[in-house]
Homo-oligomer: A and B are copies of this chain.
Amino acid sequence: MQRVKLHLAYDGTEYSGWQIQKNTDHTIQEHLERVISRYDPEFKRVYGACRTDAGVHALNQIAHFDMSVDIPEDNIATALNGDLPEDIVCWDAEKAAEDFHSRYDATGKIYRYRIDNGSFPHIYHHRYSAFFYEDLDLFSMQKAVRYLPGKKDFSSFRAKGCSSSTPIREIFSAEVYPQKDEEIWIEVSGSGFLYNMVRIIAGTLIEIGRGKISPAEMEKIIASKSREAAGFTAPAAGLTLVEIFY
């Protein structure tokens, strides 16, 4: 058996998220497992670092599995891509230590939230961004985001149904910056994230950009440890898993 580490990118628009579920056969994990089984009769399961939600995209999701057949490292990605749908790409595959675990070994992650703030949705970006028509105040959003970094109780940005045993997470960095085609990108890196955490942070920053919440209020929202204090959960389409650290 050889443990293999996969680097995956996907357009999550058409999928019910990463994880295999009852009631749908249209998840990233399911598609990947179907393809790997064609090459490896003994294959059992592929494990992803992040269980991205329905509609969420990834530029570098990491996954691992145990391979019983002998395929040269350089040929694995090409073999998988030949059979994967166009919106799931394996862009690298490497042989890993037998105890490597994509999820438990991860020390950090970067998420990006893309806001299309033009006067109409840009057709090149509409699947990968959330469209908001009202002019968002970038400077207010940039002021507010500075309250996020640090090791804190992030209960305010934790959705119902979160199964984590603790609401404490460390945010390493959080930034809001303008991009071409009238987009605003929010990028947050941290040790890990609670359920819907980045989307609730994005929704809160959008409310701040709209002027409905003042930037300084962000500190109180965090301190309140209350989901009600924060903004709405921004749409899944705007979210991309960008990177995972080990």
Contacts and interface: CB of A to CB of B under 8 A. Distances in A.
B121 A89 contact: yes
Interface in A11-62: 11, 57-59
Interface in A60-92: 77, 81, 86-87, 89, 91
Q: Considering residues A81, A119, A123, A127, which has the most beta carbons from chain B within 10 angstroms of its beta carbon?
A: A123
Interface string A103-134: 00000000000000001111111111000000
A230 interface: no
A205 interface: no
Interface of A: 9-11, 57-59, 77, 81, 86-87, 89, 91, 119-128
10 contacts: A11-B123, A57-B123, A58-B123, A59-B123, A87-B126, A89-B120, A89-B121, A89-B126, A124-B125, A127-B127
